[in-house]
Amino acid sequence: MTSTLSPAQMGEAARQILIGNDRGGYTVPNGRVYPFQWNWDSALVALGFATFDLDRAWREVETLFKAQWPDGFLPHIVFWQDDAGYFPGPSVWASGRTPPTSGITQPPVAASVVRRLWDEHEQAGYRERLAVLFPKLLAWHRWFHQYRDPQKKGVVVAMHPWETGRDNSAEWDGPASAVDVSRVGEYQRRDTSHLDQSMRPTKLDYDRYLAIVQFGRASGWNHQTITDSNPFRVADVGMTMILLRANRDLLALAKVLGDAAAEREIQSWLDLGPVAGDYLWDESLQAYGSRDIITGKPCGALTSGSFLNFYGDVRHAERDRIMLAHAERISGKVGHMVPSLDPDDPRFEPMRYWRGPVWAVVNFLIGSGFAMAGHDDWAARVRRDTRELIATTGFHEAYNPLTAAPSGGDDFSWTAAIWLAWAGR
């Protein structure tokens, strides 16, 4: 169906979703399925708040960083209040932190969000808040380079599929198959009680997720032990490109604040960009992709994350041409870009979590990358498709790229935020 709401009404509906999911300083992705503060969801939600409440946008990010660990680590979930029905909850993670948190992280979009808040909105009165937030952002990026780049290639090695933000991607099938699930035990999922099981990860996938959590918990969430011995260690193309962009944005903020030492440190990370690009280029796939660092084998999946090379400013004339050709091929097979998995991949499922559906937030990053690289036609196409998906069926978690049918939860905060900040403009 096609929405009968006007652009102004869509904007108001998006604002009401953010207001309705606001829990006082932080926003839940969706009150029924995801009742806590999620790391990259929350950062991206700030972009939506900034269109009508700039102070609230800054507080969203500031609240997230209140849960930062002393070593700079920023968890992927902050359990600000209890919800006994959620699994895996704080007792499963047992991180020992106050407030309780998970023990893994998520894609580092926060610095890019803060730069946008600074560049595109009123700066008067926010410099002091930027100065307080900057060292926390720097510490988190430093943590990534210390604990998530053991080979010093400028890549981000994910220690859990959930860390990538693209939880159930086909990229993780091979690496996760080596994870021992024999001692996982019984558990009750929450996601399948609220959503169609055909849209969610399988039980075997979930067993693997929990086995990795149990390894981290047994280590006392010692990041060095996890770096050295975790049963799942995958150089993730998505997180790598997002960190490269975030480092560029953090560098710009360092210049705003006149922090020369930070500028030098950040630039040393950015200098690894070409090395990361070479490492993640899969010759057999002829695309950027993730790589299992335990076996050294590429993951062999062309996903929406593959197109983030433009966002990360990893440029190579011939590879750029090939990636644009992939975009052209895929666009001829789907109604709306960008599916989370190549529709020519036999594992493609247009409604299952991260195995086909389109995500507005990833489209925002991909579209922004196309625009940064000067591929204006593709930037416009991705933005238009995102707008049409949301306008057609509402503010859902994800969308079927073939039919535009909604997938996952409704009244989704970051989809509403992307409408306000980008797609609906």
Q: How many CA atoms are closer than 13 Å to the CA of 325, on its beta-carbon side?
A: 9
Annotated catalytic residue 397: yes
Report residue 160 as tokens: 């859990």
- HSE (CB half, 13 Å, CA atoms) of 174? 15
Q: Which of 351, 330, 409, 424 is nearest to 41 (CA)?
A: 409
Which CATH number goes with the domain that contains 56? 1.50.10.10
Contacts of 292 (CB under 8 A, 6+ apart): 174, 175, 233, 234, 235, 298, 299
List 53, 167, 345, 388, catalytic entry = 167
* CB-CB contact of 155 with 280 (8 Å): yes
Q: What are phi and psi of 376, to 5 degrees?
A: -65, -35
Residue 206 domain flag:
yes
pLDDT score at 1: 41
Range of the domain at 336: 7-423
**DSSP track, 117-149:** HHHHS--TTTHHHHHHHHHHHHHHHHHHHHHS-
- What is the C-alpha separation between 89 and 120, in angstroms, rounded? 37
If residue 98 lies in a helix (H) or strand (E), which one and from where to where?
none
The answer to whether 18 and 27 have CB atoms below 8 angstroms apart is yes
pLDDT of residue 4: 76
CA distance 358 to 350: 9
Rounded Cα–Cα distance for residues 239 and 405 (Å): 27
Furthest-apart CA pair in the chain: how many Å? 57
Q: Please calculate the CA angle 73-77-79 and round it to the nearest 5 degrees.
A: 115
User: 289 and 280 in contact (C-beta within 8 Å)?
Assistant: yes
pTM score of the predicted model? 0.96
| Alpha-carbon separation of residue 37 from 208, 321, 332, 360 (angstroms) | 23, 39, 37, 19
* pLDDT score, position 191: 60
The reply to whether 286 falls in a domain is yes
pLDDT at 70: 98
Asked whether residue 409 is assigned to any structural domain, the reply reads yes
CA separation for the pair 303, 169 (Å, rounded): 8
CA angle 73, 74, 77 (to 5 degrees): 135
The pLDDT value recorded for residue 254 is 98
- Check residue 61 and give its pLDDT: 98
Nearest to 81 by CA among 40, 17, 31, 129: 31
Mean pLDDT by 10 residues, the chain (425 residues): 79 98 96 91 98 98 98 98 88 96 98 98 94 98 98 98 97 97 81 59 91 98 98 98 98 98 98 98 98 98 98 98 98 98 98 96 98 98 98 96 95 98 97
Contact call for residues 253 and 111 (beta carbons, < 8 A): yes
Q: What is the dihedral of CA 13, 16, 21, 26, to 10 degrees?
A: 120
* Residue tagged active-site, from 163, 349, 397, 411: 397
In a domain, 1, yes or no: no
Residue 71 catalytic?
A: no
Domain total in the chain:
1
What would you report as the CA-atom Rg of the chain, rounded to the nearest whole angstrom?
A: 20
Is residue 160 in some structural domain? yes
Nearest to 45, CA basis, from 106, 107, 101, 110: 110
Is residue 2 in some structural domain? no
SS3 of 373-397: the string is CCCHHHHHHHHHHHHHHHHHHCCCC
- Could you give the CA distance from residue 170 to residue 237 in angstroms, rounded to a whole number? 13
To which residue do tokens 């926390």 refer? 136
Give the dihedral of Cα atoms 63, 65, 68, 73; nearest 10 deg.
Answer: 140
